[in-house]
Structure 1
């Protein structure tokens, strides 16, 4: 998404040539391959562990951190592998998004008209809001100090990054649509 915005704003005349079906397939394949590798790493690590005791997971779903709490074997090596791969994946995506948006903002600030700058910023803002929402809630969930007892805050944060962000995604992106804006105004009673 950041690359699409970058090409649309920084190189608008080359958009059709750069964002062709081949580029879209390559980006989708990159996302799918990294997701498959990430899930294979988690699955392999979980199957390598031995579990004993209870099987009660203090979460809405079988999250990796909750499964590691149930393991009897040493989970240090598994946690380090997952942490290193996750950090590389997240930092790579984050750096790509930051570099793309720095280039975008530099190009937008060079646009002479106020209306042109507003239009360019309005195309980028929904993506930044969705990414920020996901990164902040996910980062809070995984970077907070671990506790042995579940708390309502843990469950609420899990709902925020696993349910709320995907629900907000289409809403945030569709707010730019004039028909959606009109429908929201009618629903809220504003004129």
Structure 2
């Protein structure tokens, strides 16, 4: 177990203190300040990290309806602080990716199949909208990228990138935006559905 600013246990519990606020995670519950989030109930998530040789910054956001909160913590070289922060971050992301992201992605795919539009990202970049026909940057007259052209999605340097085969990503949004980190799962399911549809054969 680490001590001081970061603490975590072998059972997966995590506690971080930063800027006069505390984040505590136990089981499928994360408490940020005075707000409690059951990961089985949240409908939006966001996380991103920025690391330099002697400093790292991490942010986690959770939302349920109108209730939302973001928590940011930094680490600097000195003792084991950077290592403790990295381990804390790994555990938090693993928890969110396991307990929340698959369900949120499935809900988005179901909504798209029912004719709705799901939105991903923002936070410095235009969000990406997804509907039954494909993906498009949420900007006036932005072209749509059909699901048949999408080859994959990755997360890199704080961005979510959609690839169609060119040397540059076709669409980009920020990981800091709500549900941006869920987009790779959604794209995977939608592309698989597209390949299985009668019209693609």
Question: Normalization by structure 1: what TM-score?
Answer: 0.29
- Which of 1 and 2 has greater Rg? 1
**Which one has the bigger strand percentage?**
2
Query: Which of 1 and 2 has higher RCO (CA within 8 Å, sep 6+)?
Result: 1
TM-score by length of 2: 0.28
